Amino acid sequence: MEYLIKRLKRSLMEVFVWFIVLWPILINAQDRVKIALWGDSRENLDSACTQITDLLLHRITDWDFQIHTGDFTSTGSDQDWIRSLNYEGMDSLFLPGKFFMCTSNHDDNQTTYDYYTAGVLPINSADSTTHFFTYHQGNVHIVACDGYFTDASVMESWLDQELSDIPADDWLIGFWHPPCYGDLTYKDDYTHKCGPWLEKFQAHGGDFIFHGHAHVYVRSHPLLPDGQVDEEEGMVHIVNGCGGASWKSPQTVVTKTAFTPDTTSFAVVTFITLEEGNALIQTIDARPDRNLRVIDEWMWQRNPAFIKAEGGYVPASYLYPNFPNPFNSTTTIRFGVAEWGEVILSIHDLEGSLVRILFQGTASAGTHSMEWNGISSDGSIAPSGIYICRMLSDNVTQTRKVILLR
> Domains, the chain, ranges and CATH?
32-303 (3.60.21.10), 331-404 (2.60.40.4070)
* pLDDT confidence band for 397 (50 / 70 / 90): confident
* Gap between the Cα atoms of 280 and 335, Å rounded: 12
Structure confidence by residue, pLDDT tens digits, 139-192: 999 999 999 999 999 999 999 999 998 988 899 999 999 999 999 999 999 999
Lowest mean pLDDT among 15-24, 110-119, 186-195, 238-247: 15-24
Q: In terms of DSSP bridges, do strands 312-315 and 306-309 run parallel, antiparallel, or are they unpaired?
A: antiparallel
C-alpha to C-alpha distance for 101 and 191, rounded to whole angstroms: 20
Q: Which of 217-231, 282-296, 389-403 has the lowest mean pLDDT?
A: 389-403
**Measured distance CA(130)–CA(151) in Å, rounded:** 14
For the whole model, what pTM was predicted? 0.75
Assign 3 to helix, strand or coil.
Answer: helix
Determine contact, residues 190/180, Cβ cutoff 8 Å. Answer: yes
Instruction: Using the predicted structure, report yes or no on whether residue 323 has a pLDDT greater than 90.
Output: no
Res. 289: pLDDT tops 80: yes
**Greatest CA separation for the chain:** 78
Task: Quick: pLDDT tens for 28-69.
Answer: 444 799 999 999 999 999 999 999 999 999 999 999 999 999
- pLDDT recorded at residue 276: 75
What is the mean pLDDT of the segment spanning 194-200? 97
Length of the chain: 406
Say if CB 104 and CB 213 are below 8 A apart. yes
Residue 251 has pLDDT above 90, yes or no: yes
Higher pLDDT, 392 or 100: 100
Residue 398, pLDDT > 90, answer: no
CB 330 within 8 A of CB 405: no
**Cα–Cα distance between 197 and 14 in angstroms, integer?**
52
Predicted pLDDT of residue 170? 92
Query: Rounded to whole angstroms, what are the CA distances from 148 to 100, 191, 275?
Result: 17, 14, 33
- For the chain, give the percent of residues with pLDDT over 90: 72
Q: What is the pLDDT of residue 231?
A: 84
Residues 26 and 24: their CA atoms lie apart, in Å, by 5
Residue 120 has pLDDT above 60, yes or no: yes
How much is the pLDDT for 318?
79
